[in-house]
Every structure is written in C-alpha cells, then in structure tokens.
Amino acid sequence: MLLTVQDIHKSYATADGPFAVLRGIDLTLGAGETLALTGESGSGKSTLLHLIGGLDTPDRGQIIINGSDIAALDDNGRAHLRRGTVGVVFQQFNLIPSLKVADNIAFQARLANQYDPAWTATLTDRMGLTSQLGKYPEQLSGGQQQRVAIARTLAPKPRLVLADEPTGNLDEGTAAIVMDLMLELVRETGAGLLMVTHSAALAARLGRRLHLRAGQVA
C-alpha cells in the first residue's frame, strides 16, 4: 500500500481551548489509485492533506508513505520526502516569480536530484507550455500557471500526488482541460492521487471518494 493513514487526530489552540479539526481519520491509497477527498469548508480536508504532505504534524496516529511513517520524521526528513516521493499541487500555484517557466518546471526535480530532460520535455509539450518556457509566471494566464504548477509537481515522478483544489481558481473549461492532463499523466507514471475538491463532478472522475464531516469520515 502506497499510503496508509491510521487514527489521525489534529487540534489547534483557540481562545476557547483546543479545537479538534481531525478526529480519528483512516484511509488507504494504492499506487495508481485516485481518491477524492470531499466535505464542507472546515471539515478538515486541507488539514489532512497538509499532514499527509508533511507540511504539519498530527497530534496522534500514523501516516505511512511508501513504508515510512512521516509523522515520526523531523523537518528535514519531511522536506526530503516532499522533494521526490510526494508531490503537492496547491490551489494558489506557488510558482517562483523570479524564475522563468522552464526553471519553475524543473525546480522540484532538480532539488530531488531526479531531473530528467526527456520527461520534462514530455510534460511541457503535453501541458501546452512549450511556447511559454521563456516567460515569467506573471505573464501567464491562471490556467497556464496551474499547468506549470502541475508539471513542476510531476517532473520528479513522485509516487504520491496530493492536490488541494487544483482547479479551484480556473474557469470550467480550463479546469476540465487541466484535470484531463493531470489524470492522464498520473496514470502514465503509476502514481497515487489524493485530491481535495468541492466539485462533485471532479470527485466523480476519481476512482474512490471519501467524505469528511466535522473531522471524521462521514
């Protein structure tokens, strides 16, 4: 199993005391599988995704990725995991404004020492970005920036792809194109995909769906 989440709990301090965001979450995801994580705002979807991505640590429970319990890793260990094994697509793109498109796409793969020029060229072509490589992010449309972000995430060929509302800032037509490309490329690399989405239509395109309500599986 590529990903196993067992009894994950997470709380945050508030003026009124601890607020439990996640209360005993379990899930599994195999290589090549796709899973949609749905739920109302505040249900804990993004928090769970950030925990799996090693961007935060749980209060209790295990998150095992490719045989490693990332909850037991230190900051450096989690950063190393994100460089190559786990790729994260954010809603806000998070491109580096001072780097041209070509360098943004290659950035994560170079950090992970997994840069493959041929694969990067394939991603660039399939994402329709070949003519944009010499531009900076601010010169691109929202849809183009999200394609760059997805290409950057897939460039190191991560085993697990996490996507947090990856089409949330895009119009319906562009969102459909970007989603088509992401699913196609994930299938080709054999990665697992866990995607947070509010869209029932997008969730229906993935192999399974897990719905959260008030920090628990509904």
pLDDT of residue 200: 87
**207 vs 171, residue with greater confidence:** 207
Tokens 């290409």, located at residue: 151
What are residue 11's DSSP bridge partners?
20
b/e sequence 83-108, b meaning 16+ C-beta within 10 Å: bbbbbbbbbebebeeeeebbebbbbb
Q: Report the chain's mean pLDDT, rounded to a whole number.
A: 91
Percent of the chain with pLDDT over 90: 64
**91 vs 104, residue with greater confidence:** 104
pLDDT tens, residue by residue, 110-141? 998 999 999 999 989 988 899 999 999 999 99
Adjacency order of strands within the sheet including 17-29: 17-29, 3-14, 60-65, 68-69
| Dist. CA 19–CA 11, nearest whole Å | 5
Determine the average pLDDT of the residues in 162-191.
84
**7 vs 91, residue with greater confidence:** 7
pLDDT tens, residue by residue, 60-85? 999 999 888 987 888 888 888 888 79
* pTM recorded for the entire structure: 0.91
We find that the CATH architecture of domain 33-45+75-217 is 3-Layer(aba) Sandwich (3.40)
pLDDT of residue 34: 95
Chain centroid offset of residue 102 CA: 20
pLDDT tens, residue by residue, 133-160? 999 999 999 889 988 998 999 899 999 9
pLDDT-derived band of residue 42, with 50, 70 and 90 as boundaries?
Answer: confident
pLDDT of residue 174: 77
Q: What does residue 150 show for φ and ψ, rounded to 5 degrees?
A: -70, -40
* Nearest to 3, CA basis, from 86, 79, 82: 86
Q: Is the pLDDT of residue 169 over 80?
A: no
| Count of other CB atoms within 10 angstroms of residue 17 | 7
pLDDT of residue 84: 78
